[in-house]
Amino acid sequence: MRVYLDNAATTPLDKEVFEVMAPFMLEHYGNPSSIHAHGRQVRAAIEGARKTVAGLINASPSEVFFTSGGTEADNLAIICSVRSLGIKHAVSSPLEHHAVLHSLEVLEKNGEVELTMLRVDANGVLDLEHLEITLASQPRTFVSIMHANNELGNLNNIQAIADICKKYDAVFHSDTVQTIGHYRHDVQALGLNFLVGSAHKFHGPKGVGFIYVDSSIKIHPLIQGGSQERNMRGGTENVYGIIGLAKAMEIAFRDMDEHRQHIQSLKDRMIAQLREQIEDVQFNGLSAEADKSLYTVLNVSLPVSEMNEMLLFNLDINKISASGGSACTSGVDLGSHVLRAIGSDMERGNVRFSFSKYNTIEEIDYAVATLAKLYQKETV
């Protein structure tokens, strides 16, 4: 048995999704920009997918654009907002995904924006008072804050952030890659300007995502070269990826309550068993608090041990796939910028377990038993 507990990195493709994608790989191969019958058939399928995605987030189809994934969507929102809207100041947090942080850092290095990083506490909670004070002094700022942290699982109150941004006429972008398909998002109720998703995080195909762009925002494209996506993104569309994304999202919303209950029960079981079987086990951020963290993610902090340098390797040897922050892989230190930002003890063993609808109780029990066995031998 090999146990896959790295679903925050990517999820297995749902068979229902593959079934709707397959005809567009083999039979419906027309270029959607062509005006003949083959092209028109594919164009209709893309627009049907766009309508599905838009309906699920309560947007207009004209506000949904397909991309190569969450990274491109984040880059589009950030870079194009700054350059198209004349924005000179941006606010984010040190806990954001590198798709956001690196984009903002490049703009800052180029002298295009002044960048302010929000304060965060030892649990990874953002200081929203700092946000309000900052926006009050510098209105018409670009704000980029994720809904849920991909490492800690911390949930941010994006409704409260959106309200603050609206108060000071700030442009608000939220990286919702970890929560699309796991939580319901109503873009009209939220009142944000940009929201992004990536299909492979909710059992869709890799290499395709989407961005919601509020109709009041007028930006220029990031990728030039064609009139596709209503002049927002040049390049022939990833047709079967788009079809798969829409189907995966449809399934995720259809079965969300059932899957959430199942996955939360697995996470709760792992927390309880880890506390029972491993002395001094801790949890980074708000990861162990059900009402404050993403139910698919658990970030575990294990005792100081010689085991920690090879923790992920040892899990892999024991047929458990997970990811970590401070563990060494192939002799290269992959220290987590998120854990460092909240002041976590990097001498401890930090590992992220992330769950999906396909995980089982037996897999959780095996993973905990394996960890307990490793630390009973090596804890110092």
Question: Order of strands across the sheet with 194-198?
Answer: 64-67, 209-213, 194-198, 171-175, 142-144, 89-92, 114-117
Q: Which residues touch 240 (CB under 8 Å, ≥6 apart)?
A: 21, 22, 24, 25, 205
| Backbone phi, psi, residue 319, to 5° | 65, 35
Q: What does DSSP assign to residue 12?
A: P
Angstrom distance (rounded) from CA 287 to CA 352: 10
- What is the phi-psi region of residue 280: left when phi exceeds 0, alpha when psi lies from -120 to 50, beta otherwise? left
Query: Residue type for 314, please?
Result: N
Which listed residue (85, 125, 128, 328) is catalytic?
328
> 229, 211 in Cβ contact below 8 A?
no
Cα gap 290→293, rounded to integer Å = 6
φ, ψ (nearest 5 deg) of residue 257: -65, -40
Burial class (CB in 10 A: 0-12, 13-18, 19+), 316: middle
DSSP state of 375: H
Active site residue 328: yes
Alpha carbon distance 53, 24 (integer Å)? 18
List, by residue number, the catalytic residues. 328
